Amino acid sequence: MRTTNQRSTLPVPPVAPDPWDDLVQEDRVHRRVYTDENIFAREMNNVFAATWVYVAHESEIPEPNDFKLAWLGTRDVIVTRDEESVVRVFSNRCSHRGASVCREQRGNASQFTCPYHGWRFDNRGQLFGIPGKNAYGPTFKARDMHLSRPAQVASYRGFVFATLNPDAPPLVKHLGNAARYMDAWIDYNGGAENLVLAGTQLFRLACNWKLIWDNAGDGYHVPFSHQSLLVMTHARYGGGDMTYFAEADRSKMSNSALDNGHTAIDQRAEMHAESAWQQQRPQPGREPYQDYVAATYGEQAKRVLDTTVGAGMNINIFPNLALIGNQVQVLQPTAVGETVMHWYATRRKDVDAQVNTMRLRTQEDFPVMGEMDDAANFEECQRGLFNHPEDEWVDMSRHYETGKDVAAEDGIIRGLVTTDLHMRNYYAQWKRLMQANPTLCLARGKL
Amino acid sequence: MNTATPSVAQERRYNHQPPSLYVVNAFYDWLVEVSADLAQAVVRDAAAVDAARRHAIAQLLAVESRLLDQGAGAHAAYEHWLTLYAEECAYWIPADSPAPDPRQTISLEFHDRRRLLDRVVRLGTGLAFSQLPASRTARQWSGLEVWSSPGRTDEWRARYSFTLVESRAGHSRVLAGWNGFVLRQIGDRLRIVLKQINLIDNQNPQGNNSFFL
Ligand code: FES
Ligand SMILES: [Fe+2]
- Residues A94, A198, single domain; the answer is no
Q: Domain B17-41+48-199 adopts which CATH fold?
A: Nuclear Transport Factor 2; Chain: A, (3.10.450)
Kindly report the length of chain B. Answer: 213
- What's the confidence (pLDDT) of residue A11? 52
Q: Which amino acid is at B29?
A: D
Answer whether A316's CB lies under 8 Å from A214's CB: no
Answer whether A69's CB lies under 8 Å from A92's CB: yes
For residue A164, being part of any structural domain is answered with: no
Mutual angle of helices B113-124 and A227-237, in 10-degree steps = 120
Q: Write the CA distances from B117 to A229, A236, B121, integer angstroms.
A: 12, 9, 6
Per-residue pLDDT of chain B (213 residues; tens, 9 = 90+): 344 444 444 545 788 999 999 999 999 999 999 999 999 999 999 888 999 999 999 999 999 999 999 998 999 999 999 999 999 999 999 999 999 999 999 999 999 999 999 999 999 999 999 999 999 999 999 999 999 999 999 999 999 999 999 999 999 999 999 999 999 999 999 999 999 999 999 999 999 999 999
Instruction: Using DSSP, state whether B206 is helix, strand or coil.
Output: strand
- The DSSP bridge pattern shows strands B85-93 and B189-199 to be parallel
**Whole-angstrom Cα distance, residue A202 to residue A334?**
13
CA A97 to ligand 1: nearest atom: 1
Chain A contact for B111, CB < 8 A? yes
**Whole-angstrom Cα distance, residue B50 to residue B47?**
7
Question: Which one-letter DSSP state was computed for residue A15?
Answer: -
- What's the confidence (pLDDT) of residue A247? 86
**What phi, psi does A128 have (nearest 5°)?**
-135, -5
Instruction: Using DSSP, state whether A112 is helix, strand or coil.
Output: strand
- Residues A195, A120, single domain; the answer is no
- Residues A277, A407, single domain; the answer is yes
- What's the confidence (pLDDT) of residue A106? 96
- Residues A101, A234, single domain; the answer is no
Cβ neighbourhood burial of B36 (10 Å; 0-12, 13-18, 19+): exposed
CA A119 to ligand 1: nearest atom: 3
Chain A contact for B176, CB < 8 A? no
Mean pLDDT of the A294-305 span? 94
- Residues A147, A182, single domain; the answer is no
For residue A5, being part of any structural domain is answered with: no
Question: Which one-letter DSSP state was computed for residue A24?
Answer: B
**Whole-angstrom Cα distance, residue A281 to residue A374?**
19
Q: In what order do the strands lie in the sheet with A149-150?
A: A7-9, A441-443, A149-150
Task: Specify the CATH number for the domain of residue A357.
Answer: 3.90.380.10
Q: How far is Cα of residue A54 from the mean position of the Cα atoms in its chain?
A: 6
- Summarised one tens digit per residue, pLDDT across range A96-134 is 999 999 999 999 999 999 999 999 999 999 999 999 999
End-to-end CA distance of chain A: 18
Check CB contact under 8 Å for B105 and A236: no
Q: Which amino acid is at B139?
A: R
- Residues A257, A311, single domain; the answer is yes
- Summarised one tens digit per residue, pLDDT across range A253-279 is 999 999 999 999 999 988 888 889 999
Query: Cβ of A434: how many Cβ atoms within 10 Å?
Result: 21
- Residues A346, A220, single domain; the answer is yes
Residue among B38, B34, B32 at smallest CA distance from B144: B38
**Whole-angstrom Cα distance, residue A277 to residue A281?**
9
Cα nearest neighbour of B203 on chain A: A202
For residue A33, being part of any structural domain is answered with: no
ipTM over 0.95: no
**Whole-angstrom Cα distance, residue B161 to residue A355?**
35
- What's the confidence (pLDDT) of residue A363? 95
Cβ neighbourhood burial of B152 (10 Å; 0-12, 13-18, 19+): exposed
Domain count, chain A: 2
- Residues A111, A140, single domain; the answer is yes
For ligand 1, is residue A96 a contact (CB within 6 Å)? yes
- What's the confidence (pLDDT) of residue A3? 38
- Residues A402, A257, single domain; the answer is yes
Q: Which of A126, A155, A184 is the last residue of a domain?
A: A155
- What's the confidence (pLDDT) of residue A8? 52
Instruction: Using DSSP, state whether A252 is helix, strand or coil.
Output: coil
- Summarised one tens digit per residue, pLDDT across range A135-163 is 999 999 999 999 999 999 999 999 999 99
Radius of gyration (Cα) for chain B, nearest Å?
A: 17
For ligand 1, is residue A90 a contact (CB within 6 Å)? no
- Residues A110, A197, single domain; the answer is no
Computed over every residue of chain A, the mean pLDDT equals 94
For ligand 1, is residue A145 a contact (CB within 6 Å)? no
User: Would you say residue A63 has pLDDT above 50?
Assistant: yes
- What's the confidence (pLDDT) of residue A4? 41
Report residue A19's pLDDT band, with 50, 70 and 90 as the boundaries: confident
For residue A445, being part of any structural domain is answered with: no
- Residues A188, A133, single domain; the answer is no
- Summarised one tens digit per residue, pLDDT across range A394-423 is 999 999 999 999 999 999 999 999 999 999
**Percent of chain A scoring above 70 in pLDDT:** 96
**Structural domain range at position A124:** 53-155
**Whole-angstrom Cα distance, residue B199 to residue B213?**
10
In chain A, residues with a C-beta closer than 8 Å to the C-beta of B23 are 284-285, 288, 361
Q: Which amino acid is at B43?
A: V
Residue among A95, A31, A76, A99 at smallest CA distance from A383: A31
CA atoms within 13 Å, Cβ hemisphere of B206? 28
Task: Tell me, in angstroms, the distance from the centre of ligand 1 to residue A80's CA.
Answer: 20
- Summarised one tens digit per residue, pLDDT across range A321-341 is 999 999 999 999 999 999 999
Instruction: Using DSSP, state whether A151 is helix, strand or coil.
Output: coil
For ligand 1, is residue A130 a contact (CB within 6 Å)? no
- Residues A129, A185, single domain; the answer is no
Chain A contact for B28, CB < 8 A? yes
Answer whether A157's CB lies under 8 Å from A192's CB: yes
Domain ranges of chain B: 17-41+48-199
Q: Which residues contact A28 (CB under 8 A, 6 or more apart)?
A: A393, A394, A395, A396, A397
